[in-house]
Amino acid sequence: MEAEMESKLSSKSDQPLREHNEGEEAKTSGSLTITKKDIDYPVLQRATTDHSKSKKDVASVGEFSDPVYKKLARLNGEINKMTKDQLKAKLTALKLDTNGVKEVLKRRLKNFYKKQKLMKARIKTPGSTKYDYLVVIDFEATCEREVDDYQHEIIEFPAILVDVAEMTIADEFHSYCRPVLNPRLTDFCVQLTGITQTKVAAAPEFPQVLTSFSEWMQAHHLGDGHSFAIVTDGPWDMSRFLHMQCQFSGLDFPRWARKWVNIRKVYSNFYQCRRCGIEAMLISLGMSFEGQLHCGRDDARNIARIAMRLLSDGVTFKINEYLTQSTNRRKDRTAEVENVSSSNPIPSDICSEDELETGDGAKVTDEVKTKVKASKVDSELSSGVKKLSLCDEQDEGIEDLLAYYKLQSS
């Protein structure tokens, strides 16, 4: 198969490269809408060494001018024509994972050839994930059926530590939290999360749990020797649940929680599909949910499984959302979630020096300021967070968050 594709490439070497039409009709694969689109290669820098100073290496070349990009584009075209069985056969021959829907398999095969061809051409591939670890967090909170302005308190605090280099789970942190504002769990909450009154009654209150988590982070030298990024399924864990909890508990909002990787965005951007929840991502990757849905620890473990599969397929994890809010204990402040982009980089007061870059890799300027939006009264916190400033279309709406606590009939 590879020889065939290479042969087709060489036979078409004098043909002009056909421009890719990004507006082609979208295809639907399973529950995901896939846009028919080849790999979008970012600006790459050529790797040079003292002992290799060929004319091609030292010449000033424009973006994608190297012939390898034409080869890759044509190779991608051949991959697009392959059936799912052909894709699986080729991936098997290359000893790569064969699980997933057709569009996932195509992306996996294209990424394999991209790395192979660019390495052979001595061209630096796009930057890999720069973090040593990913910390996957998925809170569970008190809730009541169809009460939009309910004062959620965190009752389960799980964190899964993913070793990026090894693509394995290195450790876990887990604790239940005893609620204070609404100490007795509703029947709806118990049924949804599986967390019983006995579990939370015997648990420490949130401030103590947060201290234990900080000690766990220190034990793994996270932020002090090892770099890390928080990974969540959507923006709500940090922007709503943790933000509200810190206000209720009179705590400063943790610095590490002001920026994170929304895995839904990473997944949809990489596989060129619609954003979806944990179960849909797993199904499209040929996996199934393990454990109980809405159990915080099980949700976090499954998000970690998705993250490791994305790493295996060549995804680069970068911070893509951050929170703008006050860092004091005042209760007249609310929070906004911002997307990371070239026009909206991460503010310097949120990131350390080595993290001061945008989603496109551009450095943050000194002019960037944090934005704090004040709400009039405490009760406006929920409605304020409903208006999260997620600039992208197709972003996670508040309806998704409200539906989060509604039981499915199935």
Give CA–CA dist 60/341, Å, rounded. Answer: 28
Query: Does the annotation count 140 as an active-site position?
Result: yes
Give CA–CA dist 81/99, Å, rounded. Answer: 19
Return the ∠ at Cα 17 (arms to 13 and 23), rounded to 5°.
150
Residue 3 CB neighbour total at 10 angstroms: 7
- Among the listed residues 152, 220, 243, 294, the single catalytic one is 294
What is the token pair recorded at 284? 């499209």
Return the ∠ at Cα 186 (arms to 184 and 187), rounded to 5°.
130
Contact 91, 108 (CB under 8 A): yes
What is the token pair recorded at 144? 């009541």
Query: Does the annotation count 4 as an active-site position?
Result: no
- Among the listed residues 103, 140, 336, 338, the single catalytic one is 140
Q: Known catalytic residues?
A: 140, 294
